[in-house]
Amino acid sequence: MQTTKKDIRSLSKEDLRNFFVSQGDKSFRGNQVYEWLWSKGAHHFDDMTNLSKETRNMLEAHFVINHIKVDTMQHSNDGTIKNAVRLHDGLVVESVLIPTETRTTACVSSQVGCSLDCNFCATARLKRMRNLAPDEIYDQVVAIDQESRLYHNRPLSNIVFMGMGEPLMNYNNVMKAIDMITSDEGLGMSPKRITVSTSGVSKMIKKMADDEVKFKLAVSLHSAVEEIRNHIMPFTKSFPLPELREALEYWYRKTKSKITYEYVVWGGINDDKKSIDALVKFCKYVPCKVNLIEYNPIDDGEFQQAAPEAIDAYIKALENAGIVAKVRRSRGKDIDAACGQLANKS
């Protein structure tokens, strides 16, 4: 049965070289197959035209290529594209292409569903079914790069891990995917153009610092008042603000990389002076910038957009404190495709 075959992309280049030797072939065949799988993005063994038919049949007998399939692609009036991505086992995740005048950004998923329980997030209402494999994460980026070239006449410039799932709860696979995305044998993208967004898993932030990663870090903070943060994101009781602060200070000491705080302002929840003052104070611990995010309501419940005056009050207080802040407007509203843990999932 096909389902018993191993996904060939779970093999390293050395594994592939050794496999060909075990089949009585030359080890360099492994290099050829590796190039087809990653830099050339082959979906099928028959695509590997510099291999003999006999070799391709042999690969077909031993392995599968569990490539993703973009099931549906929705185009927004503002140029945003939302992909419903079907995985080999029939599960579906989302990825989004977000264009501006100067760049195109891929927003990619790292889990099917989510491990966390953020009350404002539609994805959190889906139980986590499984982690994505490195190749499934990589494939999302390849697909969006192709869409960027086709619809916007330029290659993909940036990647954010801000789709479905908490990336740091799928740490090893996310790191392997980034290694391949940044490798010359993969997409060759600069790690400085990649941002991993976490809801604040402190111990994994420290691990990233110890692993000397080169990409950028964003934290979905949403409140610097402990009780409000715990209400918005109940799981954060396990990662209290003093612990998060310590992890972020550790991150900056090790990496010297500025942190971005993602911050939604909701009416009647965190739109008061106490919340503003707390955020300004928290921002002074580590060099950072703040993205204030326009919220897409997922229902008629308690989480609703704040008044423009509340956003203005945040901007004024942050700028007066010398902290860079900007408002990130929701994209793709007409196709329901705001990027991030905030995505209004269909």
Number of C-alpha atoms within 13 angstroms, CB side, residue 226?
Answer: 9
Using alpha carbons, list the distances in angstroms from residue 208 to 8, 159, 217. Answer: 28, 17, 9
Q: Are strands 130-131 and 111-112 parallel, antiparallel or unpaired?
A: antiparallel
Of 94, 136, 262, 294, the active-site residue reads 94
Tell me which of 107, 114, 288, 339 is the catalytic residue. 339
Note if 136 is an active site residue. Answer: no
Active site residue 339: yes
Catalytic site residues?
94, 339
